[in-house]
Chains A and B, each alone.
Chain A
Amino acid sequence: MNDMTQTNFERALKIVGSRPARPDGVDKVTGRALFGADKSLPNMLVGRVLRSPYAHAKILSIDTSKAEKLKGVKAIITSVDFEDFPSEFVPNGEMVVNMKDITRNVMAREKVLYVGHTVAAIAATDEDIAEQALALIDVKYEVLPHVLEVEDAEKSDAPLLHDDMMTIGVEPAPTSASNVAKRVEFGFGDVEKGFSEADLVVEREFTTQQVHQGYIEPHACLASVSEDGQAELWCTTQGPFVVRNFCSKLLGFNAAQIRVTASEIGGGFGGKTVVYLEPLALALSRKSCRPVKMEMNRAEVFTASGPTSGAKIWVKIGVKNNGQITAGDCILKYQAGAFQGAPVGPGAMCAFAPYDLTNVRAVGYDIVVNRPKVAAYRAPGGPISEYGVESVIDEIALKIGMDPIDLRLKNAAKEGTIAPYGPKLGPIGMIETLEAAKDHPHYSAPLGPNQARGVASGFWFNIGGETSSSITINEDGTVGLTLGTPDIGGSRASMAMMASEELGVPMELIKPIIGDTNSLGFNFLTGGSRATFSTGTTVVESTREAIGELKKRAALLWEVSLDQVEWVDGHARLISGDEPKTMSLAQIAKQAGKTGGPIMANCSMNVTGAGPSLGTHIVDVEVDKETGRVSIIRYTAIQDAGKAIHPAYVEGQLQGGAVQGIGWALNEEYIYNDKGELENTGFLDYRIPVCSDVPMIDTVIVEVPNPNHPYGVRGVGETPIIPPLAAISNAVSRATNKRFDELPLSPPKVLAKLMHG
């Protein structure tokens, strides 16, 4: 790890903290940037997927013979083209995955488990032929009863998705299978004792619906496998190395055989951390020995990629009349989709994490249902559990007549607090964001008729993980950065800025690129708000190493010892000597050939010490009491960034997270019919907010440095989606004098509650 005593927190910064244009900006606004579907190769085939029409059915047989005979069809794959795996949890970067489930999600084997589940795939010379061929595949199913909701799935007589699934984490261990994959529990103290000491106890049940990340770019990839088994894969992903590992395991390649290049990415938000089309395209290409391109349409994205869980949750909190929380308890039941792996663990861990509690318990259940397998979505699990807790906190504030920010301040977690999930917290910014919220003019602005204000806070862990990047000093004094975490939110700019700050050369002379999987050591994906923290740490580290090398070369040229050379503002400078002597980076670089060859450094490490990021949001809503329609009138998102390397991109994260949270709170939901078919498979009926639905989201960046990053960076990408759900629900509750406990707060639901209570 770099020398943390060399602190940058106090040092005057020239680049870090400024707002330069992003290196990838021009290509994005001119349309030159290449996204997942933008690459083509000679002789390329089109790949298409045959999907299950049933929510739950046994596959009796698949006959592809007619389709194979169609002219132009070059390859057809089904589950027989994939190796099976035992049920076993294996690490893939920071994820723990079960290859038995992954291979079945990529291609159904014994059963289909949701409408849209892949049953077969075809590569053909054009789209029309591929479509015709799909229709010629004859699949015989035995339709089984299906189950969509957790409260139905956990019943003992529910249709079983996996007849060998025994609930993990319950005593005594069950002897029969169920849809409950596991139970988790976090906390300490004695909640019953805590409740008995309370002056007021509030408990409430909440429901949230399944929601999709809603990235604008559908999944897409281009695979090319040569006759000697060398594979190239171009795809839209948050983690090319993770894709490589998934695909090599699924297809029996070794890691060196597959080179994965990440395209520009049109949004991921956690949804592009797993594989869907990639292994299919590789398998089709291997079979046909031709490049195969595959793209999902929007309906496929909704039905067959991973949204996040819908959930049923129960929260109980006890307080003293002075606002001191005596105990917090919750039970979370999250939909996993067709295979286990709902984000209920993190949901339970962070449910009460904004607070300093003595008696706390969070219990979670991971429950399989006949819906697509969930994938990560910004702070996976956090928005759901914290929505429940933050709603009850608001209800308590009203009942004891306390300002909701004061109530939170009274119980706020701070440095030294034992988090409900175990560790002692380092410096965190809960109090600072609450104080910033209270001081913000928004918090005291007057409200109009039918308007009310809501607040809520949010906690997210953030992660580090395996990371590798490199820096090269070019002969003309320019600099190349090769990074392994795809740039989703402006990270190329932030990395170039940190390198620029360290080197003392203008950012415009630094060219950051995202390398492919052969150009660097393993990088875990861009997720967990880790890129600026983890890749940033390696960039600073390798840049410092490069500076060391530059100083060495200058010492050689000056024929002095290394300790006579220091690095100042992009120049080597002779410390002693009669007259001041300097040599620019470009001058040193030009002579690198005769001082030992090209100058390059890299840093590969498992970065630790990520700092949790806390946020507090304030929202004003107006409720049309005759129609139930909720309008967002004003919105302020406040968050601790540790250090904002590029404040505009931090603000962008806060705004984007807030808007996604607004969508989750107001209108987004998966709507199924009684056959288990998704009814809203497009953006007309799956209502993410449009621009006119949201006001300009005001932001305040609070900076409580993370001591484990050279500039104090925490992750910022995930926390901002947590507070909006409760903040909006609290505001609507205050505007109507009814406590809302169900999302989305869509007009029909709000009106029904206003009419019937």
Chain B
Amino acid sequence: MDYVAPKTAMEASEALVQDGAFALAGGTDLLVKLKTKFISPNIVVDIKQVPKITSIEESMDGWWIGAATPCAEIVEHESLCQDWPGVVEALSLIGSTQIQGRATLGGNLCNASPAADSVPALIAANGTCVISGQTGEREEPIENIVISPGATVLAKGEFILGFKLPKPPSGSGDAYLRLIPRSEMDIAVVGVGTSVSVDKNKKITSIRISLGAIAPTQVILDGLEDIFIGKEPDEDSINKLVSLAESACRPIKDKRGTIEYRTKIAGVLAKRTLNIAYERATNH
């Protein structure tokens, strides 16, 4: 097995084109898979030296978060935390302090687990990602990246350079909650990211909810506009949200939770994240 640490995006793409090449960011998924012999790479391409891939930048257009920025650095970024508390909450749940010193958003997304914590929050935040390849860069919505457990749309030689999040308009808030049986070091039974914006009268102007671990890939809830736009959330709309979330579930029954349980929790967490996000939006 070879190891390279290219200094430019182009060199990284050239290395990644080879058969059996794997990108290495924090390695918290990759090394586990290596050690358990789940994968046996021919070449490991450490992408952390590629320019911009570990930087966080704020501009008029919004946020840039380099795909290989360790979560621990993102958590400490104060103004990002103010703009996207739910996104930061989500990635701050990954593993533990030690894991977050290495774990990255690019790795969390490209590992393509339905239970990845940061992904529903990033989708709810309307994030996009910049993909770098041999022919240059392209931008894709985050929800387009994962196609099935363990599989992404990335072509040979492609990797994620970074994520773009919009600057939230005033009156916005987001939230992420997951359910795990333990209190940390666990994998989400269900994770829900919710982002809302409100007008001066506290009426909802936009809403986006994404659920993780309830289907082979993250799910975006459809039909929220009809229920919530122009209104404050009330019992009736929340009940509708709960049913919508429950009916979006296409979970597998496995050791982490029965179908009935995941479905029920999807509704509960959708409701709870909406309450938190709405509360944040009205105070933003």
- Cα distance A627–B181 in the bound complex, in angstroms: 10
Cβ A748 vs Cβ B258 within 8 A: yes
Given known pairs A679-B255, A685-B255, A751-B264, the reply for A627 and B179 (CB within 8 Å) is yes
- Cα distance A459–B30 in the bound complex, in angstroms: 48
Give a binary string over A740-757; 1 marks a CB under 8 Å from any B CB, 0 the rest.
000000111001100100
What residues on A are CB-neighbors of B181 within 8 Å? 629, 666-667, 687, 746-747
Given known pairs A627-B268, A747-B189, A752-B260, the reply for A680 and B255 (CB within 8 Å) is yes
Q: Is there a chain A Cβ closer than 8 Å to B220's Cβ?
A: no
- Cα distance A631–B184 in the bound complex, in angstroms: 13
Give a binary string over B128-160; 1 marks a CB under 8 Å from any A CB, 0 the rest.
000000000000000000000000000000000
Which chain B residue lies CB-closest to A747? B181
Q: Is there a chain A Cβ closer than 8 Å to B59's Cβ?
A: no
What residues on A are CB-neighbors of B258 within 8 Å? 748, 752
Beta-carbon contacts under 8 Å, A652-702 to B = 666-667, 671, 679-680, 684-685, 687, 689-690, 692-693
Cβ A690 vs Cβ B185 within 8 A: yes
Given known pairs A626-B268, A747-B189, A751-B264, the reply for A693 and B257 (CB within 8 Å) is no
Question: Would you give the shortest CB distance from A569 to chain B, in whole angstroms?
Answer: 49
Question: Would you give the shortest CB distance from A674 to chain B, in whole angstroms?
Answer: 12
Cβ B187 vs Cβ A684 within 8 A: yes
Given known pairs A626-B268, A748-B261, the reply for A690 and B189 (CB within 8 Å) is no
What residues on A are CB-neighbors of B184 within 8 Å? 690, 692
- Cα distance A100–B91 in the bound complex, in angstroms: 54
Cβ B186 vs Cβ A687 within 8 A: yes
- Cα distance A434–B45 in the bound complex, in angstroms: 62
Q: Is there a chain A Cβ closer than 8 Å to B33's Cβ?
A: no
Cβ B261 vs Cβ A747 within 8 A: yes
Cβ A690 vs Cβ B183 within 8 A: yes
Q: Is there a chain A Cβ closer than 8 Å to B77's Cβ?
A: no
Q: Is there a chain A Cβ closer than 8 Å to B182's Cβ?
A: yes
Question: Would you give the shortest CB distance from A493 to chain B, in whole angstroms?
Answer: 30
Q: Report which of B182, B255, B261, B264 forms a contact with A690, defined as CB distance below 8 A.
A: B182
Question: Would you give the shortest CB distance from A138 to chain B, in whole angstroms?
Answer: 21
What residues on B are CB-neighbors of A680 within 8 Å? 255
Cβ A684 vs Cβ B186 within 8 A: yes
- Cα distance A679–B254 in the bound complex, in angstroms: 9
Which chain A residue lies CB-closest to B35? A297
Give a binary string over B209-229; 1 marks a CB under 8 Å from any A CB, 0 the rest.
000000000000000000000
Question: Would you give the shortest CB distance from B87 to chain A, in whole angstroms?
Answer: 22
What residues on B are CB-neighbors of A690 within 8 Å? 182-186
- Cα distance A690–B183 in the bound complex, in angstroms: 7
Cβ A747 vs Cβ B182 within 8 A: no
Q: Is there a chain A Cβ closer than 8 Å to B256's Cβ?
A: yes
Beta-carbon contacts under 8 Å, B242-284 to A = 254-258, 260-261, 264-265, 268
Question: Would you give the shortest CB distance from B185 to chain A, in whole angstroms?
Answer: 5
Beta-carbon contacts under 8 Å, A521-569 to B = none
Question: Would you give the shortest CB distance from A639 to chain B, in whole angstroms?
Answer: 26
What residues on A are CB-neighbors of B182 within 8 Å? 667, 687, 689-690, 692-693
Which chain B residue lies CB-closest to A679? B255
Which chain A residue lies CB-closest to B187? A684
- Cα distance A746–B187 in the bound complex, in angstroms: 14
What residues on B are CB-neighbors of A746 within 8 Å? 181
Question: Would you give the shortest CB distance from B131 to chain A, in whole angstroms?
Answer: 30
- Cα distance A313–B183 in the bound complex, in angstroms: 30
Beta-carbon contacts under 8 Å, A369-389 to B = none
Given known pairs A627-B268, A690-B185, A693-B183, the reply for A748 and B255 (CB within 8 Å) is no
Question: Would you give the shortest CB distance from A510 to chain B, in whole angstroms?
Answer: 38
- Cα distance A685–B257 in the bound complex, in angstroms: 11
Given known pairs A626-B268, A747-B261, the reply for A685 and B256 (CB within 8 Å) is yes
- Cα distance A755–B185 in the bound complex, in angstroms: 28
Question: Would you give the shortest CB distance from B223 to chain A, in whole angstroms?
Answer: 23
- Cα distance A685–B183 in the bound complex, in angstroms: 13
Which chain B residue lies CB-closest to A631? B183
Question: Would you give the shortest CB distance from A21 to chain B, in whole angstroms?
Answer: 27
Question: Would you give the shortest CB distance from A66 to chain B, in whole angstroms?
Answer: 21
Q: Report which of A666, A684, A692, A748 forms a contact with B257, defined as CB distance below 8 A.
A: A748
Which chain A residue lies CB-closest to B272? A626
Beta-carbon contacts under 8 Å, A65-101 to B = none
- Cα distance A693–B265 in the bound complex, in angstroms: 20
Question: Would you give the shortest CB distance from A121 to chain B, in whole angstroms?
Answer: 20
What residues on B are CB-neighbors of A692 within 8 Å? 182-184
What residues on A are CB-neighbors of B257 within 8 Å? 747-748
What residues on A are CB-neighbors of B265 within 8 Å? 627
- Cα distance A693–B185 in the bound complex, in angstroms: 10
- Cα distance A216–B135 in the bound complex, in angstroms: 49
Beta-carbon contacts under 8 Å, B177-215 to A = 179, 181-187, 189
Which chain A residue lies CB-closest to B96? A690
What residues on A are CB-neighbors of B189 within 8 Å? 747
- Cα distance A667–B181 in the bound complex, in angstroms: 7
- Cα distance A498–B268 in the bound complex, in angstroms: 57
Cβ A671 vs Cβ B183 within 8 A: no
What residues on B are CB-neighbors of A666 within 8 Å? 181
Cβ A751 vs Cβ B261 within 8 A: yes
What residues on B are CB-neighbors of A755 within 8 Å? 264
What residues on A are CB-neighbors of B179 within 8 Å? 627, 629, 747
Question: Would you give the shortest CB distance from A301 to chain B, in whole angstroms?
Answer: 15
- Cα distance A252–B255 in the bound complex, in angstroms: 44
A sample of 10 more A-B contacts (CB under 8 A), given A692-B182, A752-B258, is A627-B265, A629-B179, A684-B186, A684-B187, A687-B181, A687-B182, A690-B182, A690-B184, A692-B184, A693-B183
**9 A-B pairs with the lowest CB-CB distances in the bound complex, closest first:** A748-B261, A692-B183, A626-B268, A671-B255, A679-B255, A667-B181, A693-B183, A690-B185, A692-B184
Interface residues of B (CB under 8 A from A): 179, 181-187, 189, 254-258, 260-261, 264-265, 268
23 A-B residue pairings within 8 Å (CB atoms): A626-B268, A627-B179, A667-B182, A671-B255, A679-B255, A680-B255, A684-B186, A684-B187, A687-B181, A690-B184, A693-B182, A746-B181, A747-B181, A747-B189, A747-B261, A748-B257, A748-B261, A751-B261, A751-B264, A752-B258, A752-B260, A752-B261, A755-B264
Interface residues of A (CB under 8 A from B): 626-629, 631, 666-667, 671, 679-680, 684-685, 687, 689-690, 692-693, 746-748, 751-752, 755
